[in-house]
Structure 1
Amino acid sequence: MTIDSLPRHFFVTGTDTGVGKTTVTVRLMQHFAARGLKVVGMKPLASGCEWVDGRWQNEDVRQLTAASNVQTPPELVNPYCFQPPIAPHIAAAQAGTEIQLDVIKDAYTALTELADVVIVEGAGGLLVPLNKTQTMGDLLRVLELPALVVVGMRLGCINHALLTRQVLQQQKIPFCGWVANQIDPHMSMQQENLQTLVEWVQQPPVLHLPYQGQET
């Protein structure tokens, strides 16, 4: 699997929060845009926002918007934006609302009509609750998207990556590849950990990013 063999629309999830999903999503968007495709990044749920230009805005969303080469309404790119940097379902409850997957589905469908490539970036990992009964994995199934998994390369990454892979299999969510993102510059046995992941996931990463500083 290579970047160019990825499907036109896919979902970027991660082994945890802070593993570099936004960094990876922007890099992939830039790759497809450089090939002349119309590209949009979507962040259905964002927590940790600031009041800018009359609305709540999130830094990850701003990065995705900057990398997009198609003009789209902000409410399609980011249907749910919450001020405190906490779990989405808790932030939604504090705001007096409930995250509804059909709202996200409608926004996603609208984006697919505007762009050749739509890359949807999740929040946290696959089992992050979105409301009282549904998780991020349920959102993937509603959107009918395959998952690209960002593995934050640090101590413990093998366990987190294989747990994520297992959840995808259990929930029958298609897997379209993984990215090795070096988030710990001092990680011991980096190459050995990478090789272990290649063997257990049974495919090499579509992208291997060196350490780039603080991740989002």
Structure 2
Amino acid sequence: MTHTLFIAGTDTDVGKTVVSKAILQAADKMGMTTIGYKPVAAGCEVTPEGNRNSDALHLQDAANVSVAYDKVNPYALLEPCSPHIAAKLEGVNIDEIVLSNQLQELKQQANFVLVEGAGGWRVPVSDSECLSSWVQQHNLPVILVVGVKLGCLSHAMLTAETIERDGLNIVGWVANRVNPGEKHYREIITMLEQKINAPKLGEIPYMPSVKKRDLSKHIDLTLIL
């Protein structure tokens, strides 16, 4: 059996990749074979091997199953903006069939596949479609990432309500301390614990070079696996 989970953020820059890496590391410690999947990434560097997105590279590095970059990130778009704009600028059509076929292929290679979204829950990938509709098609269980800072309570509650209204199950959430100066951190966590109808899987503390660290101790996957 392959566990497939979707990482959703309350917004962009809330730490989806940091949390994804922590979860992949925790799954590795549990003895699972792991792959990270970033279906769509906007904001890449041009390299001799092709476009490369730093978040997708972190997922590739955190997994314990070796997978080619274009399998981890089939749509690597250059412009750091909404995917539907970035795709338009490059004349690219983000095809949900491609995303689905790639997901199925990855599920054959590992028993834990973590799918990281782009931006917030309703991020558009075309003029008519959002990435969330693809997640709905596959009925993926969702882990919500909350970047703890001023304003995150409203964003978190609205996102959780929308995910549930879309018919999907939030199986857990993770707090990522993106603002070390947030003096009401504990009160915010208490409110999130009351308002999100899912277990808190962990809290990632603020730390320098966070994406280069072993973060597995900050995540408890036994609550959902």
- Shorter chain as denominator, the TM-score bin is over 0.9
Distance of 1:32 and 1:105 partners within structure 2: 23
Partner of 1:82: 77
Partner of 2:105: 110
Identity %: 34
| Equivalent residue runs for 1:121-132 within 5 Å | 121-132=116-127
Distance of 1:203 and 1:133 partners within structure 2: 30
Partner of 1:160: 155
1:70 pairs with one of 65, 69, 90: 65
User: TM-score, normalising length from structure 1?
Assistant: 0.92
On the 8 A contact 1:105/1:142 being kept in 2, the answer is no
Does residue 146 (structure 1) correspond to residue 141 (structure 2)? The answer is yes
On the 8 A contact 2:170/2:198 being kept in 1, the answer is no
On the 8 A contact 1:45/1:122 being kept in 2, the answer is yes
Distance of 2:157 and 2:208 partners within structure 1: 25
**Runs ≥4 residues deviating over 4 A:** 213-216
Report the aligned-residue RMSD.
1.6
Partner of 2:86: 91
2:207 pairs with one of 205, 209, 212: 212
User: TM-score, normalising length from structure 2?
Assistant: 0.89
| Equivalent residue runs for 1:169-188 within 5 Å | 169-188=164-183
Instruction: Note the alpha carbon deviations across 1:108-157, whole angstroms, 9 max, x for none.
Output: 00000000100000001111111121112112112321110000000111
The structural deviation recorded for 1:71 is 1.8
Structure 2, unaligned runs of 5 or more: 212-225
Distance of 1:25 and 1:36 partners within structure 2: 17
Instruction: Note the alpha carbon deviations across 1:54-102, whole angstroms, 9 max, x for none.
Output: 2111111111111111122322211100111111000000010121111
Structure 1, unaligned runs of 5 or more: 1-6
Partner of 1:4: none
